A = this chain, B = another copy of it.
Amino acid sequence: MAEEVSNKQIIFKDYIHGFPKESDMILKTSTIKLKVPDGCSDAVLVKNLYLSCDPYMRSRMSKIDDNYVPIFTPSEPMSGDGVAKVVDSSHPDFERGELVTAITGWEEYTLIKSSESESETHFIRKIHHTNVPLSYNIGILGMPGMTAYTGFYEISKPQQGDTVFVSAASGAVGQLVGQFAKLSGCYVVGSAGTKDKVDLLKTKFGFNDAFNYREETDLDAALKRCFPQGIDIYFDNVGGEMLDAVLPNMRLNGRIATCGMISQYNLKPAEGVRNLLYIMAKQIRMQGFLVYHYRHLYPKLFDLVEPLLEQGRIAYVEDVAEGLESAPAALIGLFSGRNVGKQLVRVASD
């Protein structure tokens, strides 16, 4: 008989409008047998170690036709990227004790069933990077790393000497874009929402300059101060008012990588952006991307980042909340900018 243990879970209560609140998620304690059920083939039972809090998860909390990510199921656990350890497996590729990244539940233990969908096979991967903090596998070596790689190299097509602006620049993605830009010989400026984050950009991540958008009374003036010759590449994590201020400051043939619009996710309708005429007048290419369509580029990310990590030439700052109970507050903190760096939740240490 398999051992039955308690399994704390963070349950998604119901679809929401506007800003998410902690009370939209409920802590519940159920039980689970630490064994893949009989007859459940190609399944893996994992113990969750780290969970990732990401802005895109907001989109999973509202029922919208034609959503770009699957929505959460009310009364079921929240889910997202996680680092986990295999407790039991009926899958030939995974065995007890192995470390994996997977789409896991926001709970202590998750039974990950196989799926016939081709893309689902990507949802669980063995961890091969063991000489870096485990959590990096859902950070710099995971989805945020891939997002920064894709948006900067594939979408923005940087040239040496380009001027690059990054919003939400100390976040999970922005901090990497800034460092990639420096490595590519670009001049890079970031915006963030506190003095400490601005300091971090300039000292830890090597941005040429940075500003606190909350303290600027005139974003256009701030951008003109930082980019007297204009901006070649804007890596847009926020949308809205900042995008509107950036557009007139773009240079001819500028590129805008539309990675996210965190300032807009909780607004309905979104803010209106008025300066789109510059898309024409400056021959701007504004291009969106969804990182899960670029999974084939993971080897290129690893080839770039692994030596940089080994040589200490790239940094990755994480903000780790302790305990599953802290997950709702950690997720909500993303939308007020409470996190400093990549937001994680540590569920267990091993």
Contacts and interface: CB of A to CB of B under 8 A. Distances in A.
Contacts of A258: 276, 279-280
A285 interface: yes
Contacts of A13: none
B273 A261 contact: no
A68 B283 CA distance: 10
A276 B283 CA distance: 18
Interface stretch (A77-85, A123-131, A288-296): A288-296
A264 interface: yes
A276 B279 CA distance: 13
A299 interface: no
Interface string A255-299: 000111100110001111111111111111111111001000000
Nearest to A264: B277
A222 to B, nearest CB: 18
A209 to B, nearest CB: 22
A278 B273 CA distance: 13
A69 B260 CA distance: 32
Contacts of A275: 270
B271 A274 contact: yes
Nearest to A239: B276
A243 interface: yes
A115 B265 CA distance: 52
Interface in A292-338: 293
Given A283-B293, A287-B286, A274 B272 contact: yes
A289 B254 CA distance: 11
Nearest to A272: B272
Contact of A277 (B239, B279, B282, B283): B239
Contacts of A271: 272, 274
A282 B66 CA distance: 10
A280 B290 contact: yes
Contacts of A265: 277
Contacts of A274: 269-273
Contact of A283 (B243, B270, B290): B290
A66 B250 CA distance: 11
Interface of A: 66-68, 239, 243, 248, 258-261, 264-265, 269-290, 293
5 contacts: A259-B280, A261-B277, A271-B274, A272-B274, A284-B287
Given A271-B272, A271-B274, 10 more contacts: A67-B281, A239-B276, A270-B276, A273-B274, A282-B288, A283-B290, A284-B288, A285-B286, A286-B286, A287-B287
